[in-house]
């Protein structure tokens, strides 16, 4: 087999949104950069997660919203056009083609090697390609590990699971047919979003969740409202349910039989596991730099892996196990790329302008949207997290249905807002919104939390009337009344 050897300032393993951002920032710092990818450029988010899943949900949410407006409800009585929804999904996933990503890499002068990259030592990478043999790469300054979770759905060890062809997020977002009956195992964000999607596309969905409510890591009222929305849509939610075995009857297309821990049996045509993610670090040569294959990687605020002796290899995005969202991974990538450039030029990383080389938002201001009906939007601490960490907060709640903007949105609007105020500093420590149309409130909340805006100044951020953003004024008024 032929072998090529090349040297770059920076080698990036993984060409998802995170890897692309690291590469762009490193290149902008004047460093020669190559990116290595064995699957589709753009990664999980572009083709099997964020983009296709939100494309599937995009028709679902306005369809549900229109039903809440009496003058429009008659126009949306029928089901969604499944073929049209799937066609829209295909378009938003670029038909699983990477031409735009290749053009973009060319435009920023980042080289591309297609193949499976593995570390072979500090700043050394071997790439097995399908058509160019093996390529040996040396990085003068850093190898950035941006493999994320990829296909790493954390499937449980259940007898029979390996023989029934279970769905993960990839099968669920890329499916070209609607299963008659779909069992969704899990109660987190992926589970509730995909249950919302497939129930709206005329599948009969059963959710098997171990906990007492979906979305256990968020404020309890968020999970309660999402559960209510799923039930109203027709989803059968089985709480406290755990699958112990799975079998498929009568061949590859036969009925699935699911046995639960309490001995009850359940049947379905397909089963989707949304039970968390595992790091995609098993086969990337971690052992050659003193790390354990398959582990999450501990990183500092500049995204360097703390356990690597020379502290050079950064792990950016999901693999660093800080905040497992695409937008947070891209944020880390911008910081890591800039930090690599700073170190290469001798700039003091800890004195960077605007704090650009420290991922402080990972600790206190991580935003998240759950695209269900209703939507959930949150940033910063939850009440439980504040209690667990000993943070003194004051909890302020408000019923969104009292807002004129919410009444414009839907006659029977149901929603809730919660703001946590840091009792020692008089700033917003966390916000959660639950209700139709709340996703667009999130960035204002993120600015309030990340910017540590004093409550006294928030009084002067005037919300437009009649919009749901008026909730900010009502939360502040409620806080003032409580303080009297």
Q: What DSSP line would sit under 335-400, residue for residue? A: HHHHHHHHHHHT--GGG-GGGTT--THHHH--EEEE-SSSEEEEEE--HHHHHHHT--EEEEEEEG
Same domain for 378 and 354, yes or no, is no
Residue 203: inside a domain: yes
Cβ-contact 153, 273 below 8 angstroms: yes
pLDDT over 60 at 261, yes or no: yes
> Among the listed ranges 13-27, 69-83, 313-327, which one has the minimum average pLDDT value?
313-327
Same domain for 382 and 347, yes or no, is no
Same domain for 18 and 139, yes or no, is yes
Same domain for 390 and 415, yes or no, is yes
Same domain for 107 and 223, yes or no, is no
Same domain for 294 and 242, yes or no, is no
Residue 476, SS3? helix
Cα dist from 218 to 108, 172, 380, 398, whole Å: 39, 24, 11, 17
Q: Which of 306, 335, 361 is the last residue of a domain?
A: 361
Burial of 412 (0-12, 13-18, 19+ CB in 10 A): exposed
Average pLDDT score over residue span 57-72:
86
Residue 58: inside a domain: no
pLDDT over 60 at 317, yes or no: no
Of 471, 470, 448, 469, which Cα lies nearest the Cα of 458? Answer: 448
How many independent structural domains does the chain possess?
Answer: 3
Residue 79: inside a domain: no
- How far apart CA 428 and CA 450 sit, in angstroms, is 9
**Which residue matches tokens 């049996």?**
265
Residue 323: inside a domain: yes
pLDDT at residue 315, rounded to an integer? 65
pLDDT-based confidence at 326, cuts 50/70/90?
A: confident
Provide the 10 A C-beta neighbour count for residue 109: 12
Average pLDDT score over residue span 390-410:
94
- How far apart CA 197 and CA 167 sit, in angstroms, is 14
Residue 69: inside a domain: no
pLDDT at residue 236, rounded to an integer? 97
- CATH code of the domain covering residue 201: 3.50.50.60
Same domain for 286 and 305, yes or no, is yes
pLDDT at residue 374, rounded to an integer? 95
Angle at 390 between CA 389 and CA 395, to 5 degrees: 100
Residue 74: inside a domain: no
Residue 11 makes CB contacts below 8 A (sequence gap 6+) with 33, 34, 36, 117, 123, 125, 137, 138, 139, 142, 143, 144
Q: Which residues pair with 434 in a beta bridge?
A: 376, 416
pLDDT at residue 313, rounded to an integer? 64
- Torsion angles phi and psi, residue 99, rounded to 5: -55, -45
Residue 288 structure tokens: 């050659």
H or E segment and range at residue 279: none
Same domain for 192 and 337, yes or no, is no
Of 149, 170, 119, 444, which Cα lies nearest the Cα of 322? Answer: 149
Cβ-contact 29, 144 below 8 angstroms: no
Residue 341 makes CB contacts below 8 A (sequence gap 6+) with 25, 26, 28, 29, 30, 31, 347
Residue 218: inside a domain: yes
Show the domain range for 439.
374-483
Of 10, 370, 3, which Cα lies nearest the Cα of 190? Answer: 370
pLDDT over 60 at 46, yes or no: yes
Percent of the chain with pLDDT over 70: 92
pLDDT at residue 3, rounded to an integer? 77
> What digits encode the pLDDT tens for the residues 139-185?
999 999 988 755 456 788 888 888 888 999 999 999 999 999 999 99
Q: How many CA atoms lie within 13 A of 340 on its CB side?
A: 38
Same domain for 258 and 286, yes or no, is no
Average pLDDT score over residue span 443-460:
95
- CATH code of the domain covering residue 428: 3.30.390.30
Residue 318: inside a domain: yes
- How far apart CA 291 and CA 288 sit, in angstroms, is 7
Cis ω for the linkage preceding 174 (within 30 of 0) = no
Q: Which of 273, 289, 322 is the last residue of a domain?
A: 273
pLDDT over 80 at 237, yes or no: yes
Q: Which of 273, 302, 325 is the last residue of a domain?
A: 273
pLDDT at residue 293, rounded to an integer? 87
| Residue-averaged pLDDT of the chain | 89
17-28 helix and 99-107 helix, angle to the nearest 10 degrees? 20
pLDDT over 80 at 290, yes or no: yes
Average pLDDT score over residue span 33-62:
92
Residue 267, SS3? strand
- How far apart CA 235 and CA 381 sit, in angstroms, is 30
> What digits encode the pLDDT tens for the residues 354-369?
456 767 777 788 899 9
- How far apart CA 25 and CA 139 sit, in angstroms, is 16
Same domain for 464 and 383, yes or no, is yes
Cβ-contact 119, 284 below 8 angstroms: yes
Same domain for 169 and 231, yes or no, is yes
Residue 284 makes CB contacts below 8 A (sequence gap 6+) with 13, 117, 118, 119, 145, 147, 293
Higher-confidence residue of 289 and 74: namely 289
Same domain for 290 and 144, yes or no, is yes
Percent of the chain with pLDDT over 90: 62
């Amino acid at each position: 087999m032929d072998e090529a050897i090349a040297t770059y300032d920076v080698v990036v393993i993984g060409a998802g949104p995170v890897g692309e951002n690291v590469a762009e920032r490193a290149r902008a710092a004047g460093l020669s950069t190559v990116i290595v990818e064995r699957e589709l450029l753009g990664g999980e988010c572009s083709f099997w997660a964020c983009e296709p899943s939100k494309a599937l949900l995009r028709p679902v949410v306005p369809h549900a919203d229109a039903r809440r407006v009496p003058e429009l409800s008659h126009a949306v009585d029928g089901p969604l056009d499944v073929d049209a929804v799937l066609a829209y999904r295909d378009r938003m996933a670029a038909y699983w083609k990477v031409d735009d990503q290749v053009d973009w890499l060319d435009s920023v002068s980042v080289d591309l090697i297609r193949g499976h990259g593995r570390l072979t030592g500090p700043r050394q990478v071997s790439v097995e390609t399908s058509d160019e043999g093996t390529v040996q790469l040396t990085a003068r300054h850093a190898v950035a590990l941006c493999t994320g979770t990829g296909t790493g759905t954390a499937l449980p060890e259940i007898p029979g699971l390996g023989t029934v062809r279970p769905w993960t997020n990839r099968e669920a977002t890329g499916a070209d047919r609607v299963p008659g009956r779909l069992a969704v195992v899990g109660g987190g964000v992926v589970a509730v979003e995909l249950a919302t999607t497939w129930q709206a596309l005329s599948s009969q969905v059963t959710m098997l969740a171990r906990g007492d409510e979906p979305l256990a890591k968020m404020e309890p009222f968020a999970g309660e409202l999402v559960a209510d929305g799923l039930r109203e849509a027709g989803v059968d939610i089985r709480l406290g349910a755990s699958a112990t075995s799975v079998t498929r009857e009568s061949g590859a297309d036969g009925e699935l039989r699911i046995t639960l821990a309490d001995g009850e049996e359940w049947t379905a045509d397909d089963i989707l596991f949304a039970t968390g993610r595992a790091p995609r670090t098993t086969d990337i040569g971690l052992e050659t730099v003193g790390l354990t294959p398959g582990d999450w990687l501990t990183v500092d605020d500049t995204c360097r892996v703390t356990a690597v002796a020379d502290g050079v290899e950064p792990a950016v995005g999901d693999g660093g196990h800080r905040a497992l969202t695409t937008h947070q991974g891209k944020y880390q990538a911008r910081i890591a790329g800039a930090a690599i450039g700073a170190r290469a030029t001798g700039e003091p990383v800890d004195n960077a302008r605007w704090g650009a080389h420290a991922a402080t938002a990972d600790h206190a201001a991580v935003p998240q949207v759950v695209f269900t009906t209703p939507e959930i939007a949150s940033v910063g601490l939850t009440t439980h997290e504040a209690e667990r960490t000993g943070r003194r907060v004051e909890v302020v709640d408000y019923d969104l249905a009292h807002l004129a903007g919410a009444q414009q949105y839907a006659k029977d609007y149901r929603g809730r807002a919660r703001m946590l105020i840091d009792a020692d500093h008089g700033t917003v420590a966390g916000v959660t919104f639950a209700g139709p149309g709340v996703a667009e409130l999130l960035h204002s909340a993120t600015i309030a939390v990340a910017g540590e805006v004093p409550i006294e100044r928030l009084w002067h951020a005037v919300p437009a009337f009649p919009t749901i953003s008026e909730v900010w004024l009502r939360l502040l008024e409620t806080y003032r009344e409580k303080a009297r």
